[in-house]
Amino acid sequence: MSTKARAILDEIRALPPQELQVIWRELQLLSNPAPTTAAADPIRSARGMFAGSHLTEALLTSRAEERRRG
């Protein structure tokens, strides 16, 4: 543990019980962030949406044509 972390911990230990409980709740929230939902993560929600539609091949073909054109 770093000296800075140790100093912070000593300050927390010196707090009154009510404030210590508030700090404890806040630390629990920090250590257990809310899981991201599919709506909040557009990449995850779109994963597999176009499976089997040959989009990769179409993209590669398009890029090859652009390269040939210059």
Cβ-proximal residues to 23 (8 Å cutoff; 6+ apart), any chain: 12, 15
**57, 64 Cβ separation under 8 angstroms:** no
pTM over 0.95: no
Instruction: Please tell me the predicted confidence (pLDDT) of residue 62.
Output: 85
pLDDT class for 4, splitting at 50, 70, 90?
Answer: very high
Residues 6-53 pLDDT 10s: 999 999 999 999 999 999 999 888 887 766 565 566 666 666 666 666
Whole-number Å distance between alpha carbons of 61 and 69: 12
Instruction: Please tell me the predicted confidence (pLDDT) of residue 53.
Output: 67
